[in-house]
Structure 1
């Protein structure tokens, strides 16, 4: 049965076990899955890639259909689903397993797609297309972001961000994350800064560079630095991205002390960490202890001052700092 994305709030989700989300709006799909499904299941979420299931169908069915005292209800999320998985889903629907919900996340599916046809024709399973956000929706998201930050913003600046997002709120959220990191200790933003921020790094973002450095992936860190020509503005964004991610790691460490489990700590961290980023964040936590992270926050603040005072040497100063912290040491 076909349903519009905004209609999901009007139905009882527990009345349906199988959902197909398709379309290019990854940001809206991720928000919907997180807000309407993941919150109800917490640590009972099982994530799969389509290829992983196809390569080992028996393991998939055993995992989905097997019940345990601790893992009765389950949310199954299958990413990058295509027509290749249709027969497997048909078998699963026929088995009618209890206490599970299955969400298939697909890219854009054409009308002739057999997977899409299956979900559109059957009344008991739901097919929801996720179309590109329109400018009005993106405008509202941006306005709310800056209103919460109590920072004035012009329509011209909003239009630049909308253009950069290319109709997808996931792209927009990535751009707003750059802005948020850049706005540390700042109370205003101009159009020139927005243009520079949203053009950061053709091949690799500041976030990716920082993530691999903190995970102590030295080779990948060096590759990213060597393949990009970061500007002076990029250097500041990298530093502030590093500060934001360091503070997040300290927060996760405090949750680890409380939960005594890294995966649970990462799962309950707020703002939420996307599923695809969790392995890298886990690697980061295992690469540092809390005292060293706090010390690195202090050193990063010092590096920001040094970079600002030495513009000619800024790139080298920052690159050396990033690479040195990506090297494996005994913590």
Structure 2
């Protein structure tokens, strides 16, 4: 059965066990899965890549049908689903597993796709396309973002952000995250600032730079620093992104005490860590101890103040700090 994405709020989601979300709007799919489904399952979520279930169908079926005394309900998310999954999903629909909700997350599927046709035809399963956002929906997201932060913004600035998002709210959310890191305690933001911020690191994002530094991927870190000409505003975004990620790692460290496993802690952490980021977050946790993270947060705040006071050499200060931490050996 076909539903438009906004129609999902009008149905009882627990009446259906199978959902297919397809399309190029990764941001919309992430929001739907997180806000409508994941929040109801908490620690009862299993994630698979399509290749995993194709390579070992029996293990996947065991994961679907095996229940524990404490966990009767479960949410299973299959990423990068294609037509190759159709036979397996068709078999599962016939078996109709109880208390199990299965979501397929797919890229854009053509009309002739057998997986898409199967979901469209069957009335007991849901198919929802997630196409590019239009200017109206992106405009609403931007207005809500700045209104919640009590920052005034012109329509010209909104139009620039819409253009940079290329029709995908995930791209837009990435740009808004940069602005959020930069605009702490600011009540206004200029056209020049927006233009510079949304041009940050055409080849690499601030997040990628910080991730590789914390993962101690020194060569990649140096490459990113060398291949980008960071502005004064960029330097502030990068150091604030570092502080934000350090605080998240510190929270996960506290979570590990209850889970006894880094992998388990990363998988069940809230808000959820996107599947493609889990590997590097795990690598970071293996590289840093809790006290080291606390110390680095303190030093990062000092570096931010130092960069602000010495903006002309801000990039040198930041680069030295980033590289030194990417090289730091474990104790």
User: Whole-Å Cα distance in 2 between the matches of residues 247 and 63 of structure 1?
Assistant: 33
User: Whole-Å Cα distance in 2 between the matches of residues 273 and 89 of structure 1?
Assistant: 26
Q: Comparing 47-56 with 251-260, which one deviates more in the overlay?
A: 251-260
Return the TM-score normalized by structure 1: 0.92
Do the aligned partners of 1:184 and 1:240 also contact (CA within 8 Å) in 2? no
Q: Identify the residue that residue 190 of structure 1 maps to in structure 2.
A: 190
| 2:103 alignment partner, SS class | strand
Is the aligned partner of 1:164 residue 2:164? yes
- Residues 153 and 258 (structure 1 numbering): CA distance in 2 closer, same or farther, change over 3 Å? farther
| 1:20 alignment partner, SS class | strand
Do the aligned partners of 1:5 and 1:129 also contact (CA within 8 Å) in 2? yes
Q: Deviations over 1:195-251 (max 9, x none)?
A: 111111121100111012112222332232233333333222211211222233333
Is the aligned partner of 1:214 residue 2:208? no
| 2:152 alignment partner, SS class | coil
Alignment of 1:6-17 (within 5 A): 6-17=6-17
Q: Deviations over 1:15-59 (max 9, x none)?
A: 111111111111111111111111111111111111222122222
User: Whole-Å Cα distance in 1 between the matches of residues 66 and 265 of structure 2?
Assistant: 26
Q: Identify the residue that residue 114 of structure 1 maps to in structure 2.
A: 114
Alignment of 1:219-234 (within 5 A): 219-234=219-234
Return the TM-score normalized by structure 2: 0.92
Alignment of 1:13-52 (within 5 A): 13-52=13-52
| 1:161 alignment partner, SS class | helix
Q: Identify the residue that residue 253 of structure 1 maps to in structure 2.
A: 253
Q: How many residues are aligned here?
A: 331
Q: Deviations over 1:113-153 (max 9, x none)?
A: 11110001111111111121121111111111111111111
- Residues 270 and 83 (structure 1 numbering): CA distance in 2 closer, same or farther, change over 3 Å? closer
Is the aligned partner of 1:203 residue 2:203? yes
Give structure 2 stretches of 5+ with no counterpart: none
- Residues 94 and 328 (structure 1 numbering): CA distance in 2 closer, same or farther, change over 3 Å? farther
User: Whole-Å Cα distance in 2 between the matches of residues 175 and 160 of structure 1?
Assistant: 11
Q: Comparing 248-257 with 118-127, which one deviates more in the overlay?
A: 248-257
Is the aligned partner of 1:307 residue 2:310? no
* Alpha-carbon RMSD: 2.1
User: Whole-Å Cα distance in 2 between the matches of residues 183 and 267 of structure 1?
Assistant: 31
Q: Identify the residue that residue 95 of structure 1 maps to in structure 2.
A: 95
Alignment of 1:48-67 (within 5 A): 48-67=48-67
Following TM superposition, by how much is the alpha carbon of 1:329 offset from its aligned partner in structure 2, in angstroms?
2.1
User: Whole-Å Cα distance in 2 between the matches of residues 292 and 82 of structure 1?
Assistant: 43
